[in-house]
Amino acid sequence: MKQFDGYSYVDGGVCAAKGFKANGLYCGIDVAMKQAHEMDLVANGIDIDDTKKTVKNDLGMIVSDSICNTAAVYTTNKVKGAPILVTKNNLEATGGKSRAVIVNSKNANTCNKDGVNIAEKMCELTAQVLGINKEEVIVASTGVIGIPLPIEPISSHIKELADGLSYDGNAKAVNAIMTTDTVPKEVAVTFDIAGTTCTLGGMAKGSGMIHPNMATTLNFVTSDVAISTELMQKALSEVVKITYNCLSIDGDTSTNDMVCVMANGLAQNTEITEEGPEYETFKQALYIVMMNMTRMLAKDGEGATKLIECTVSRAKNLDTAITVAKSVAASSLFKCAIFGEDANWGRIACAIGYADADFDITKIDVDMASSKGTLKVCRAGYGVDFSEEFAKEVLSEDEIMVNISLNDGSAEATAWGCDLTYDYVKINGDYRS
CB 404 within 8 A of CB 380: no
Q: What are phi and psi of 264, to 5 degrees?
A: -100, -5
CB 326 within 8 A of CB 318: no
Please state, in angstroms and rounded to a whole number, the distance separating the CA atoms of residues 191 and 9: 9
Q: Is 41 left (phi over 0), alpha (psi -120 to 50) or beta?
A: alpha
Task: Please report the sign of the dihedral spanned by the C-alpha atoms of residue 25, residue 31, residue 33, residue 36.
Answer: negative
* Catalytic entry in 179, 216, 281, 421: 216
CB 311 within 8 A of CB 404: yes
Q: Is 414 left (phi over 0), alpha (psi -120 to 50) or beta?
A: beta
Those residues with Cβ within 8 angstroms of residue 292's Cβ, 6 or more apart along the chain or in another chain:
1, 2, 187
Note if 75 is an active site residue: no
Question: What's the burial of 317, exposed, middle or buried (CB within 10 Å: 0-12/13-18/19+)?
Answer: middle
Return the active site residues.
216
